[in-house]
Amino acid sequence: MHEPIDTLWGLLEHYSPSCHESEAANWLVSHMKELGFTQSYLDAVGNPIGIIGEGEKEIIFLGHIDTVEGEIELRRDGDLLYGRGAVDAKGPLATFVQALTRLGPIPGWKMIVIGAIGEEKDSVGARSIVDQYQPNFVVIGEPSNWKRITIGYKGSAKHELYISKDRFHSARSNDNACEAAFQIWDRIKQWTMQFNANEDQLFNQLQVSLQGFISGEQTFHDWSKLSISARLPLQISPEEYFQALSKICKPYTIEEMSDAIPAYLAPKNTPLVRSFLAGIRELGEKPGFVRKTGTADMNIVAPVWGCPTIAYGPGDSSLDHTPHENISIQEYENAIQVIIHSIKKLVKQL
């Protein structure tokens, strides 16, 4: 007989940084078979998939099985379970698996758990499934604290600015490539401050950060390169952001380093949201909403699928990516109960 903690412990026991998820994914497929899932398999890109029930209506529970790098010793200290991914986001993924196991098949409904690969890198797992499903409802597995529902994530963009200038004697007053780079960076920061001048909430602000700087010399020129990352609010699309940045950086060019992702904000008044609010109240707590300043697979799938979507899962997101990552076992259990209550209420409405 499997205990709820077995799913979480097993996932944490299989270290799975991005691009190295196969052992954890295979373990989860086998574990879901043992738990009685109707189907359990790896898809074409390596996402572990578990299905309970059959029907025309679908609910997808999309978590991610990869983590950032940095293995943490798996250990339990009272109510806390330490391990890489305990919060981000094997805790939420294990919550999905356990909740559906307890719910069992619901007539007319197909419930699908997906442990997407690559979320911490390029979201290859989520990108590979957007044209394979057309669900009625989606729950994204990310930590929000079991008493809160996440309805929004900011977008993201990464790019590099390369500057090359003819070399000259250091006794002259000309700006070299390094100085030119930091002058442009100052212009970018000034533009960001102007953009955010009337925005008090961080979710609505444009955040631009310098992630790296290198420079060098060649025979007839010197060069510098800035690596820049941005968190985009709803008010500016990736296209608008790059257009503005290109003007600021003239005569030098900006190179995009990955596909930019727009921000996403889900509506609050949906059957899915109402069911989860009721599910949290069922356990005697007052629910709340969260809009996060990071980016998640929600940004990728929700605009394509166009159905009610939330992100939910146990865990303190301030511990994401840290060497102290841990999750409360009681919170994990509470989140399982919330999902069970919520899905029962949801299917009764429809």
Catalytic residues: 66, 119
Return the H-helix or E-strand segment holding 115: strand 109-116
Gap between the Cα atoms of 7 and 341, Å rounded: 20
Contacts of 30 (CB under 8 A, 6+ apart): 40
Whether 97 and 338 have beta carbons less than 8 Å apart is answered as no
Return the H-helix or E-strand segment holding 84: none
The residue written with tokens 């602000």 in the block is: 205
Cis peptide before 314 (omega within 30 of 0): no
**Lookup: tokens for 192:** 């960001």
SS3 279: helix
Gap between the Cα atoms of 230 and 293, Å rounded: 11
Gap between the Cα atoms of 59 and 51, Å rounded: 10
Gap between the Cα atoms of 49 and 25, Å rounded: 9
Whether 334 and 314 have beta carbons less than 8 Å apart is answered as yes
Whether 225 and 160 have beta carbons less than 8 Å apart is answered as yes
Q: Order of strands across the sheet with 155-166?
A: 207-217, 221-232, 155-166, 253-256
Beta bridge partners, 80, equal 77, 328
Minimal CA–CA distance to 293: which of 227, 229, 239, 232? Answer: 232
Gap between the Cα atoms of 52 and 308, Å rounded: 20
DSSP state of 125: H
